Amino acid sequence: MPTWLILAKGPVLRFTLAVLALGLLRLVIINAWQMVSAIRQAGDQHIPYRQIIQQTLSWLIPIRRLGKDRTGYSLASFVFHVGIVIVALFLRNHLDILQANTGLTWLAIPKPVLDWLTLGAIFGGSFLLFYRLYVRSSRKLSKFGDYFLLALILNIFVSGFIAGQPWNPIAYDSLMLFHTLNGILLLLIIPFTKIAHCVLFPIIRLSTEIAWRLVPQGGSKAVKTLYGPQERKI
């Protein structure tokens, strides 16, 4: 294996994993502290934790929600996310690199299964990218970072898939360097982009619920403060 590929899969990756872990831990601590503060200050202390947990789980695995709105987009997004999580965490090559750098490992999923998931993720990610480009309502809401993240993840999937095929037309070491560096870049920026929701989502759901736990008549008082003493229905 060339020296530059050894460095990328070794010291550079260990540094990247440290940044990823510390960055996500920082976000979790900050958001958890803000959530605890919000709970203490909530006017209504009767917070339905069980219901919130159930709703959070329903959004983590949104099978029942896929056909309710923008069916094509929802299905593409679901397949894309499933492919990212499973291929990243259960590919034998990834686990070997993880074990070499951290000592951690677990059971891998057979490569033919992951190849199909990779293709699904490529098609799903491509659909999301073109949807943002060509659907006006989505294009207005999209920023450069949205396109960059989708393109980066697609680079990782496409290069990894081609590198693992016997018909790969590109020099293996060069393609693996491209794949590895793109993966390292993605891991580095996770704590600083919207992808951080992969660990913050449960906290965000709870914080959103708490934010609406106003004191009795709090909504009316807020309206009076904003609009004066005139009666307004809320």
- Confidence bin at 24 (pLDDT 50/70/90): very high
Higher local confidence (pLDDT), 17 or 52? 17
Q: What is the pLDDT of residue 15?
A: 94
Q: 120-154: per-residue pLDDT in tens? A: 999 999 999 999 998 888 888 888 989 999 999 99
Range with the poorest average pLDDT among 21-30, 91-100, 173-182, 219-228: 219-228
Range with the poorest average pLDDT among 87-96, 161-170, 182-191, 194-203: 194-203
Higher local confidence (pLDDT), 128 or 232? 128
Task: Report the C-alpha gap between 32 and 206 in whole angstroms.
Answer: 10
Please count the other Cβ atoms lying within 10 Å of the Cβ belonging to residue 212. 10
Q: Is the pLDDT of residue 220 over 60?
A: no
CB 91, CB 115: distance < 8 Å: no
Q: Is the pLDDT of residue 88 over 80?
A: yes
Task: Tell me if residue 228 falls in helix, strand or coil.
Answer: coil
Higher local confidence (pLDDT), 22 or 52? 22
| pTM exceeds 0.75 for this model | yes
Q: What is the pLDDT of residue 182?
A: 95
Task: Report the C-alpha gap between 182 and 149 in whole angstroms.
Answer: 11
Q: Is the pLDDT of residue 7 over 80?
A: yes
Task: Report the C-alpha gap between 130 and 81 in whole angstroms.
Answer: 17
128-159: string of b/e by CB count within 10 Å (b at 16+)? bbebbeeeeeeeeebeeebeebbeebbbbbbb
